[in-house]
Amino acid sequence: MSEIVAGNTSFPAPPPVIPVAMLNRLVRERLEAAFPLCWVAGEVSNLSRAPSGHVYFSLKDAAAQVRCVMFRSRAQLLGWRLENGQHIEARVLVTLYEARGDFQLNVEAARRGGVGNLHEQFLRLKEKLAAEGLFASAGKRALPPFPRCVGVVTSLQAAALRDVLTTLARRAPQVSVVLYPTPVQGEGAGAQIADAIRRAGERRDCELLIVCRGGGSMEDLWAFNDERVARAIRACPLPVICGVGHETDFSIADFAADQRAPTPTAAAELAAPEQAALRARLSVLQTALRRQIEPLLEQRSQQLDWLARRLQHPAQYLAQHRERLRNLQRQLGAGLLQASARARGELTHLSRRLLLNRPHPARHAGRLAALAPRLRSAWHDAQHGRRAKLERLTAGLAHLNPQAVLARGYSVVTSAQGEIVRDSRSLEPSARIAVLLHHGRVEAEVTALFEDHGAAAGLPFPASGIATRPGGE
């Protein structure tokens, strides 16, 4: 198969006979591969919008034109409305519509003609001022909640001025307006806007400043992308609201301002609260305050009535207390007399009981003399019995006394560790032992051990089978 060379790219040649669909597909693939995404400038013509949301139009210049399509997903992101006669720059994919074999451009994005260089300048300035901290939120000032005077920086012929004045008159007629007229479009407009902002800050005629302008192309709004305007806004001692263009339009002044409004009308709405809403809120607060105060007033009124009833003239108050004092004196006197009488009767009763219970020593002397011999006899009997019991216990202890056993000729043998030896097998020859006698103690050394008792040796009593050699006393 031979090859087809297009530019520096070679493609395999198609078969000799191919269907139309394959031809269109191959051409589309070759076009899309040969042309990357690029920007194309031209005038919009033959524009139509399909029910599906896709936008179809042609881009043309003085020598040629080309079909274009912008699908709904891209058109929704455009932010402005395409119209016939507009000069635009479109970022496109070069392709072929296979169903009809139409050469067309698929538009990915679009911008108004001539915007490319301006947009680059806009981005560079925005980046520069942001790096300086000119847009930092920490430097933003809060708007006054209830301003009495608002300044407006705009053109006398601008529709934005009418929108601001109409909105303020409708929402907040109590707010006065000071106008600082300045051109908002054209050569030198940026410097004049910056000068008007500085003049408003120096005069301090108002509490808040609105910088505004109606919608337009990027070129129309370019004066608000002037570096001098941004610096004048940040240097202004008054809080600044910027309402430039439509909701989708952003300018350097928007970023520098203390508050950005999507439109001039929205800027006026931000500047002053609506009087009707304030009145409604005041009415609600008044009702809530009344509901809280009225029960308290009623309670205090009842307390006042009660205190008024208790309030008396000092003379009447003293007379009542004087009468009460006399009553207390009478009650005290009667109480003392009654208590005295009760105490006197109780004393008489106790005296009689004392006389009746008084002891008579003469009457008990004979009985005491009769009990004395009996006490002495019982004492002697008790002493005799305790003495006899003590003698019996002493005799019993004497039989159990180890010294008495030792006195009869017995002895106690202990090992070197102080343990009593009861069996000769618990000792070894040459072991040291101690023999406790009735009088004294003997230390000895074992010379021999015997397992028989003393009867085998001719002793008159059993003896341990141990032969010893005295070792000291």
- CATH for 12: 2.40.50.140
Question: Rounded to an integer, what distance in angstroms lies between the CA atom of residue 209 and that of residue 232?
Answer: 12
What's the chain's average pLDDT? 84
Asked if pLDDT for residue 241 goes beyond 60, the answer is yes
Return the top range by mean pLDDT from 75-89, 134-148, 228-242, 357-371: 228-242
User: Please, is 372 exposed, middle or buried when counting C-beta atoms within 10 Å of its C-beta (0-12, 13-18, 19+)?
Assistant: exposed
Look at 38-52, 107-121, 177-191, 329-343 and tell me which has the smallest mean pLDDT.
107-121
Confidence of residue 461 (pLDDT cuts 50, 70, 90): very low
Task: Indicate the residue among 262, 277, 292 that finishes a domain.
Answer: 277
Q: What is the 8-class DSSP label of residue 64?
A: -
* Mean pLDDT, range 339-367, rounded to an integer: 82
Asked if pLDDT for residue 225 goes beyond 60, the answer is yes
Question: Rounded to an integer, what distance in angstroms lies between the CA atom of residue 45 and that of residue 62?
Answer: 13
Q: Do 122 and 246 sit in the same domain of this protein? A: yes
Asked if pLDDT for residue 235 goes beyond 80, the answer is yes
Q: Do 95 and 190 sit in the same domain of this protein? A: no
The verdict on residue 434 lying in a domain is yes
Q: Exposed e or buried b for every residue in 287-308, given b needs 16+ CB within 10 A?
A: eeeeeeeeeeeeeeeeeeeeee
| Token pair recorded at residue 161 | 């001025």
Asked if pLDDT for residue 473 goes beyond 80, the answer is no
Asked if pLDDT for residue 67 goes beyond 90, the answer is yes
Confidence of residue 259 (pLDDT cuts 50, 70, 90): very high
Residue 464, pLDDT score: 46
Asked if pLDDT for residue 5 goes beyond 60, the answer is no
Residue 469, pLDDT score: 63
Q: Do 216 and 108 sit in the same domain of this protein? A: no
C-alpha pair distances (Å), 3 with each of 11, 32, 380:
6, 19, 159
Is there a contact between 82 and 110 (Cβ–Cβ < 8 Å)? yes
* Backbone angles phi and psi of 196, in degrees to 5: -65, -40
Please choose, from the candidates 451, 401, 457, 388, the residue with its C-alpha nearest in 3D space to the C-alpha of residue 423: 451
Q: Give one word for 237, left, alpha or beta, with left for phi > 0 and alpha for psi -120 to 50.
A: alpha
Q: Do 271 and 175 sit in the same domain of this protein? A: yes
The verdict on residue 446 lying in a domain is yes
Q: Do 77 and 179 sit in the same domain of this protein? A: no
* Mean pLDDT, range 357-370, rounded to an integer: 75
Residue 394, pLDDT score: 82
Q: Do 255 and 234 sit in the same domain of this protein? A: yes
How many separate domains does the chain show? 3
Q: Do 107 and 201 sit in the same domain of this protein? A: no
User: Please, is 87 exposed, middle or buried when counting C-beta atoms within 10 Å of its C-beta (0-12, 13-18, 19+)?
Assistant: middle
The verdict on residue 58 lying in a domain is yes
Q: Do 123 and 52 sit in the same domain of this protein? A: no
- How far from chain centre, in Å, is Cα 181? 51
Bridge partner list, 9: 6
Torsion, CA 371, CA 376, CA 379, CA 380, rounded to 10: -150
Q: How many residues does the chain have?
A: 473
The verdict on residue 79 lying in a domain is yes
The verdict on residue 400 lying in a domain is no
Bridge partner list, 69: 56, 106
The verdict on residue 91 lying in a domain is yes
Q: Give one word for 204, left, alpha or beta, with left for phi > 0 and alpha for psi -120 to 50.
A: left
DSSP string, 349-417: HHHHHHHHT---HHHHHHHHHHHHHHHHHHHHHHHHHHHHHHHHHHHHHHHH-HHHHHHTT--EEEETT
| Token pair recorded at residue 452 | 């028989």
Q: What is the 8-class DSSP label of residue 181?
A: E
* Backbone angles phi and psi of 17, in degrees to 5: -125, 120
Q: How many helices (H) and strands (E) does the chain have?
A: 12, 16
Residue with tokens 């907040």: 172
Q: Which amino acid is at 269?
A: E
Q: Exposed e or buried b for every residue in 198-207, given b needs 16+ CB within 10 A?
A: bbbbeeeebb
* Mean pLDDT, range 32-42, rounded to an integer: 87
Pick the residue with more confidence: 339 or 311? Answer: 339
Residue 449, pLDDT score: 82
CB-hemisphere CA count at 13 Å for 215? 9
Confidence of residue 13 (pLDDT cuts 50, 70, 90): low
Asked if pLDDT for residue 37 goes beyond 60, the answer is yes
Pick the residue with more confidence: 10 or 332? Answer: 332
Asked if pLDDT for residue 459 goes beyond 60, the answer is no
- The CA-to-CA distance between both ends of the chain, in Å, stands at 140
* Mean pLDDT, range 221-236, rounded to an integer: 92
Is there a contact between 204 and 237 (Cβ–Cβ < 8 Å)? yes
The verdict on residue 186 lying in a domain is yes
Confidence of residue 456 (pLDDT cuts 50, 70, 90): very low
* Mean pLDDT, range 39-43, rounded to an integer: 90
Task: Indicate the residue among 219, 244, 277 that finishes a domain.
Answer: 277
| Token pair recorded at residue 410 | 């017995």
The verdict on residue 454 lying in a domain is yes
Is there a contact between 406 and 436 (Cβ–Cβ < 8 Å)? yes
Residue 249, pLDDT score: 77
Q: Do 129 and 221 sit in the same domain of this protein? A: yes
Is there a contact between 352 and 346 (Cβ–Cβ < 8 Å)? no
Q: Do 271 and 150 sit in the same domain of this protein? A: yes
Q: What is the 8-class DSSP label of residue 179?
A: E
Look at 5-19, 43-57, 86-100, 310-324 and tell me which has the smallest mean pLDDT.
5-19
Q: Do 189 and 165 sit in the same domain of this protein? A: yes
**Per-residue pLDDT tens over the stretch 280-307:** 888 888 888 888 888 888 888 888 878 8
Q: Do 172 and 102 sit in the same domain of this protein? A: no
Domain that holds residue 419: 405-472
Task: Indicate the residue among 256, 277, 298 that finishes a domain.
Answer: 277
CATH at 271: 3.40.50.2300
